[in-house]
Amino acid sequence: MTHWIAVPIILPALVAPFIVLAARHHIGIQRVLSVSGVLALIAVACGLAMQSADGTITLYQMGDWAAPFGIVLVADQLSTMMVLLTAVLALFVLLYAIGSGWDERGWHFHALFQFQLMGIMGAFLTGDLFNLFVFFEVLLIASYGLMIHAGGNARLRAGVQYVLFNLIGSTLFLFALGSIYAETGTLNMADLANRVAQIGAEETVGIRVAAVLLLLVFAIKAALVPLHFWLPSSYAEAPAPVAALFAIMTKVGAYAIIRVYTMIFPPDLDVTAGLHDLWMLPAALVSLAVGMIGVLAAKKLDRLVAFSVIGSMGMVMVAISLFTPGSIAAALYYIVHSTLAGAALFLIADLVRTGRANLDLTLQPTVAGNSLTAALFFTGAIAMAGLPPLSGFLGKLLVLDAAFDSDLVVWIWVIVLSSSLVSILGFARAGSILFWKAHSVEATDETDALPRPNMLSYVSVGGLILLLAAHTVFAGQVHGYTTTMAKHLFAPEPYISTVLDAPGKLSEPTEGDH
Amino acid sequence: MELLVASAIGILTAGGLYLVLRLRTFPVILGISLLTYAVNIFLFTSGRLTTGAPPILRDGVNVYSDPLPQALVLTAIVISFGMTAVVVMIGLGAFLGSDDDHVDDQPETDEDHSEGTS
């Protein structure tokens, strides 16, 4: 049943308007609908992941139109893994939003949340570049609403910056798509892979520009330095559950880079020679360094977590820009880890916020619910900083191991290891101020009155931490899976033939070209 | 015609970029609108410029205009229109809330001005 591929997009697209139209005054019904929608999404995502686990590529032609003309959805190992990761993350974030009462502090949280999921799922599943743009816009417009959820001046200001930056990114994306279409006459990814390879050596000017523009767009999404300026303010000011869900949004950029630059512009293509090792790798290394220095320099806990997200995206991009099967496998392993760890840390920052006057890293009385929150924070920090025994350490080892054959191996090792040290210092400093030294400050009446976080909040954060632990315990299996995934990514012929050879309306090309 | 269209795109983009780099929200939004106009024309021309040519295959016609970019432009126009409306509303809310329409973080309102943010 290939129709199942469309379900991760259709289901949230139906649940969201239903919530708005039928349940807008009943937060209880909204919660039930939203959670059951996400649970169904997880079930479907599990089914899709099992279906594609042996390398099967499933195709869904919208309206039965054949591939280069119609829009297709394609589910391969990479897409289904990202879909499953999104669905699982969404469940825990949603539980936290319900437990902490964030969803009651403004209108339409659940509807926007479902639209956001629809956009993310669509971006992972689509096989068409223009459709990717449309789904980017769907997830962005939902994220604008979520970003300013519950209002407040600081949040609105950060929201304006976030929206403006992303609008410029979208415009750039359209410029890139226009150039690609002008050069090749198609926007279907599989069709593009064939046509870009056929472009003669003298006629590559336009397609080179397009390739760089497209990389810039995805780098904005992935918050690669120097295009990361939108991230710290917006992630720090966004409501905690929203920031936690945004942890997957930077990975959408990483996913798009992996997809487009393994299939359409593979590393051995002359057109894009030098793009990865000359530009992307140094930028990724700088992101890693800037992110981790930001962790050490941050004066507030939410900014600290936002910078750690930049740093971990830098790590992902280092692995991606090496563009070998081994490094892509390492990057995919690290993407799962970094999503879970980043989301957990944003939620933990909110746990701290609940029991404290503010998030400034200054001496204040102990956080309400101190011991449990502290334990969660240190587990999350260990994961994010990449200390053993959690998956961050294993992911980092895999990246370092994959870097052996690179020319810049010394740089990669030095920056990865020293930035890890800096981030450990940053997290240790924050943790000791928040939880340890706080015992030396006398509690006042006001702080005693602050409530402890809800039990459901702890359950959802604990669930994310448990997933991280599972990601560590089953690292062998997961890495084995990502290795076969990377192998398939570097041999895209089955993907291309699945998409282009499937029969449908207009399957017989009547004209040679456009 | 190519020169006219190309310079229109160029001028719109240049003006848009200049306005985007301004300090306050309103010129930046105007700049983004100009940029989206530029990109709409750019998308339109990506199917090559033809005049008076049918977009649908039929007998006895040799020159066609490409219908796909026109569909793409329609999508892009709708999206950019909606996005501009959203950013105007959010920008207005931020201005009315804080009585200040600077796009960047102001030092006095943002004490936690940490490294790398602007």
The answer to whether residue B117 is domain-embedded is no
Are B114 and A511 in contact (CB < 8 Å)? no
The answer to whether residue B59 is domain-embedded is no
Q: What is the mean pLDDT of residues B79-89?
A: 91
The answer to whether residue A330 is domain-embedded is yes
- Residue A347: partners with Cβ closer than 8 Å, 6 or more residues away: A93, A96, A240, A241, A244, A457, A460, A461, A464
- Separation between Cα atoms, residue B97 and residue A159, nearest integer Å: 13
The answer to whether residue B94 is domain-embedded is yes
What angle do helix axes A27-52 and A109-125 make, rounded to 10 degrees?
Answer: 10
Chain B residues closer than 8 Å to A148 by CB: 90, 93
Query: How many C-beta atoms surround the C-beta of residue A27 within 10 A?
Result: 15
The answer to whether residue A460 is domain-embedded is yes
More reliable by pLDDT, A405 or A330: A330
Interface confidence, given as ipTM, is 0.89
Mapped onto helix, strand or coil, the DSSP state of residue A72 is strand
CA-to-CA separations, A29 to A60, A196, A234, A453, A459, in angstroms, rounded: 33, 50, 30, 23, 21
The answer to whether residue A430 is domain-embedded is yes
Q: What's the domain range around A90?
A: 2-501
- Total domain count for chain B? 1
Burial of A490 (0-12, 13-18, 19+ CB in 10 A): middle
Secondary structure of B14-42 in HEC code, one letter for each residue: HHHHHHHCCCEHHHHHHHHHHHHHHHHHH
Which of B29, B43, B114 shows the shortest C-beta gap to A294?
A: B114
Are B93 and A175 in contact (CB < 8 Å)? no
B69 touches chain A (CB under 8 A): yes
From B7's Cα to the closest Cα of chain A, the distance in A is 16
Phi first, then psi: what are they for A128, rounded to 5°? -135, 135
% of chain A at pLDDT higher than 70:
96
Q: What is the mean pLDDT of residues A283-294?
A: 94
B91 touches chain A (CB under 8 A): yes
Q: What's the domain range around B22?
A: 2-48+65-98
**C-beta separation of A364 from A327 below 8 A:** no
Are A303 and B57 in contact (CB < 8 Å)? no
- Per-residue confidence (pLDDT) for residue A513, from 0 to 100: 46
For residue B118, pLDDT over 50 is answered with: no
- Per-residue confidence (pLDDT) for residue A255, from 0 to 100: 95
Report CA A313 to chain centroid distance, whole Å.
9
- Separation between Cα atoms, residue B21 and residue B34, nearest integer Å: 13
Token duo for residue A54: 């042996």
Are B46 and A137 in contact (CB < 8 Å)? no
- Total domain count for chain A? 1
Mapped onto helix, strand or coil, the DSSP state of residue B117 is coil
The answer to whether residue A468 is domain-embedded is yes
Are B28 and A293 in contact (CB < 8 Å)? no
Chain A residues closer than 8 Å to B33 by CB: none
The answer to whether residue B44 is domain-embedded is yes
- Separation between Cα atoms, residue A70 and residue A73, nearest integer Å: 10
User: Number of helices (H) and strands (E), helices first, in chain B?
Assistant: 3, 0
The answer to whether residue A89 is domain-embedded is yes
From A152's Cα to the closest Cα of chain B, the distance in A is 8
For residue A281, pLDDT over 80 is answered with: yes
- Separation between Cα atoms, residue A393 and residue A386, nearest integer Å: 4
From B52's Cα to the closest Cα of chain A, the distance in A is 18
B65 touches chain A (CB under 8 A): no
Pick the residue from chain A with its C-alpha nearest to B116: A229
Q: What is the mean pLDDT of chain A?
A: 90
The answer to whether residue A154 is domain-embedded is yes
- Separation between Cα atoms, residue A135 and residue A129, nearest integer Å: 10
pLDDT tens readout for residues A206-248: 888 999 999 999 999 999 988 998 999 899 999 999 999 999 9
Cα–Cα–Cα angle for A285, A86, A41, rounded to 5 degrees? 170
**Global pTM value:** 0.92
In chain B, which among 9-28 make CB contacts under 8 A with chain A? Answer: 20, 25, 28
The answer to whether residue A74 is domain-embedded is yes
- Residue A414: partners with Cβ closer than 8 Å, 6 or more residues away: none
Are A175 and B39 in contact (CB < 8 Å)? yes
The answer to whether residue A512 is domain-embedded is no
CA-to-CA separations, A16 to A42, A98, A101, A239, A240, in angstroms, rounded: 17, 16, 19, 20, 21
Are B90 and A161 in contact (CB < 8 Å)? no
- Separation between Cα atoms, residue A177 and residue A173, nearest integer Å: 6
